[in-house]
């Protein structure tokens, strides 16, 4: 097996790993944004418990959905990841403010952000060149 073949095989595995990781994050974020946009009682209750007015829930869901759409479009995926990072940072700040449990609630948006950026890193060779990881 030549080194070129290993690179292609490694790239193919990385591409699929990135798609799977990204798919997990996207599925969660689609669910989260849609229950907010539809103002389901669980989303309204959860948001008001975090200190947000019920009237803001659908707007928050729309913002999340727009960021997510930008992330899933290949040409705008980096912009979408940056915007989702900001959105998820706000979620972390909210959980810190209300004193949510650290591992299960406060850090959960960070886990989602790691999935988003890890998936993008595995799928996008330009991003890998921009942010090379040293071994």
Going residue by residue through the chain (135 aa), what tens digit of pLDDT does each one get?
333 333 334 578 989 999 999 999 999 999 999 999 999 999 999 999 999 999 999 999 999 999 999 999 999 999 999 999 999 999 999 999 999 999 999 999 999 999 999 999 999 989 989 988 876
Helix (H, G, I), strand (E, B) or coil at 20: helix
Residue 2, Cβ neighbours under 10 Å: how many?
Answer: 7
Q: Could you count the other beta carbons within 10 Å of the beta carbon of residue 73?
A: 11
Written as six digits, the tokens of 32 are: 């989260």
Cα distance from N-terminal residue to C-terminal residue, the chain: 23
Largest CA-CA distance found in the chain, in angstroms, rounded: 60
DSSP label at residue 68: H
8 Å CB contact between 110 and 91: no
pTM of the model as a whole:
0.88
Per-residue confidence (pLDDT) for residue 133, from 0 to 100 = 81
What gap in Å lies between CA 126 and CA 113, rounded to an integer? 19
């Amino acid at each position: 097996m030549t080194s070129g073949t290993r690179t292609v095989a490694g790239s193919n595995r990385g591409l699929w790993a990135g798609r799977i990781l990204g798919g997990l994050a996207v599925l969660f974020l689609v669910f989260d944004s849609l229950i907010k946009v539809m103002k389901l009682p669980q989303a309204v209750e959860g948001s008001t418990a975090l200190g947000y007015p019920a009237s803001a829930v659908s707007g928050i869901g729309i913002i999340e959905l727009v960021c997510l759409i930008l992330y899933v479009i290949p040409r705008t995926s980096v912009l979408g990841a940056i915007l989702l990072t900001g959105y998820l940072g706000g979620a972390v700040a909210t959980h810190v403010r209300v004193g949510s449990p650290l591992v299960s609630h406060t850090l959960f948006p960070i886990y989602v952000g790691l999935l988003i950026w890890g998936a993008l890193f595995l799928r996008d060779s330009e991003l890998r060149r921009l942010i090379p990881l040293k071994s």
